[in-house]
């Protein structure tokens, strides 16, 4: 069965029961390479949208747990992280996210943690938020950087072929193929055609594609189960002109957007 992170927390009982099998490896090697192997020891690190703190479980992770802070909208994920690493810092942020936290508070500001961070990392978080939310949260996160601090977050370019050696399609097609595994009605060819000229696009519940638009989820609760947003590297560079954009590394499909203070 193919499932996504959100299904582990908001999916069926069967999907939630799979939680223990997931979240046991993070993306330390990815950020380590994207940031040119900095010294992590002695540095404060904020893992924004860090879920259960998989980053700390990564092989070769040299981030010190007592200097590691994880902020997430999923209280249960944080509790799991806290059990594994009680010396780290686990902060619940009850902000609305259409997929991960539909009952959260819209536009809630980041809590004042009273710490400046040497590194702020966010892997696959702004791939699940609306465009204005990304801009708002990136602005708030930048304000938390220590002098010489670095913010690095990932995004997915819909037209980029990350897996060209083993997969004949771009990143959006890869996602649509996964969606079709869960829902055979997903019309991959039609959606791919629709996406051709997209500077950015959002895929709602794996079936509806919105080009250069956040999209809509029209049910009363204002929720969707899955929400994936894709930005071309050119578009993201225009959004954040002073950022450095790097290609995916470590076999991942996600580009990295890096901002230094």
Ligand X SMILES: C[S@@+](CC[C@H](N)C(=O)[O-])C[C@H]1O[C@@H](n2cnc3c(N)ncnc32)[C@H](O)[C@@H]1O
Applying CB under 6 A, the residues found at the interface with ligand X are 5, 26-27, 48-51, 54, 71-74, 77, 93, 95, 97, 100, 123-125, 128-129
Nearer of residues 82 and 194 to ligand X, judged by Cβ = 82
**Residue 154 CB, nearest approach to ligand X (Å):** 8
Nearer to ligand X, 109 or 164 (CB): 109
Nearer to ligand X, 181 or 190 (CB): 181
Nearer to ligand X, 129 or 232 (CB): 129
d(CA 72, CA 53): 10
State the minimum distance, in angstroms, from the CB of residue 197 to ligand X.
Answer: 27
Say which residues have a Cβ less than 8 Å from residue 168's Cβ, sequence separation at least 6: none
Query: Which residue's CB atom is positioned nearest to ligand X?
Result: 49
| Nearest approach, Cβ of residue 58 and ligand X (Å) | 10
Residue 193 CB, shortest distance to ligand X, in Å, is: 27
Among 53, 234, 242, residue whose Cα is nearest residue 139: 242
Identify whether the C-beta of residue 155 lies closer than 8 Å to the C-beta of residue 127.
yes
């Amino acid at each position: 069965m193919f499932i996504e992170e959100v299904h582990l927390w908001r999916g069926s009982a069967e999907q939630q029961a799979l939680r223990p099998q997931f979240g046991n490896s993070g993306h330390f090697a990815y950020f380590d390479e994207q940031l040119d192997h900095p010294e992590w020891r002695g540095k404060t690190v904020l893992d924004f949208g860090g879920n259960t703190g998989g980053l700390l479980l990564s092989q070769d992770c040299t981030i010190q747990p007592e200097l590691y802070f994880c902020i997430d909208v999923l209280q249960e994920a944080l509790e799991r992280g806290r059990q594994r690493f009680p010396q780290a810092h686990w902060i619940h942020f009850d902000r609305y996210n259409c997929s991960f936290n539909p009952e959260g508070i819209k536009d809630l500001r980041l809590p004042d943690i009273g710490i400046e961070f040497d590194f702020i990392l966010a892997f696959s978080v702004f791939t699940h938020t609306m465009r204005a939310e990304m801009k708002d949260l990136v602005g708030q996160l930048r304000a938390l950087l220590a002098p010489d601090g670095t913010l690095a977050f990932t995004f997915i370019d819909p037209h980029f072929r990350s897996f060209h050696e083993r997969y004949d399609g771009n990143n959006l097609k890869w996602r649509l193929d996964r969606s079709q595994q869960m829902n055979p009605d997903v019309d991959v060819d039609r959606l791919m055609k629709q996406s051709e000229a997209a500077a950015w696009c959002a895929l709602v519940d794996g079936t509806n594609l919105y080009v250069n638009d956040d999209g809509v989820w029209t049910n009363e609760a204002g929720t969707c189960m899955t929400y994936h947003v894709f930005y071309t590297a050119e578009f993201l560079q225009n959004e954040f002109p002073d950022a450095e954009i790097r290609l995916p590394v470590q076999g991942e499909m996600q580009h990295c957007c890096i901002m230094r203070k």
